[in-house]
Structure 1
Amino acid sequence: MTNEALTVKFDNQSKILKYDPFMLYIRVKPLTPAAKPINCIVVQHALTLFYQLKPDLPLALYGHYNQRHQFVITKYMIRTDTHELAS
Structure 2
Amino acid sequence: MTNQALSGYYDNQLKILKYDPFLLYLRVKTIDGQLVNCLIVKHALTLFYQLKPDLPLALYGHYNQRHQFVITKFMVRLSAAELAG
TM-score by length of 2: 0.96
* 1:53 aligns to 2:51 (yes or no): yes
Question: How far is the alpha carbon of 1:36 from its aligned partner?
Answer: 2.1
Q: Percent identity?
A: 71
**1:83 equivalent among 53, 63, 81:** 81
CA distance in 2, matches of 1:19, 1:74: 18
Question: How far is the alpha carbon of 1:61 from its aligned partner?
Answer: 0.0
Give the AA of the match of 2:16.
I
CA distance in 1, matches of 2:40, 2:74: 10
TM-score by length of 1: 0.94
CA distance in 1, matches of 2:18, 2:81: 34
Size of the aligned set, in residue pairs, is 85
Q: Structure 1: where are the runs of 5+ without partners?
A: none
**Cα-Cα RMSD:** 0.7
Q: Structure 2: where are the runs of 5+ without partners?
A: none
CA distance in 1, matches of 2:27, 2:83: 25
Question: Secondary structure at the residue paired with 1:85?
Answer: helix
Question: How far is the alpha carbon of 1:83 from its aligned partner?
Answer: 1.4
Question: Secondary structure at the residue paired with 1:50?
Answer: helix
Q: Which residue of 2 aligns with 1:7?
A: 7
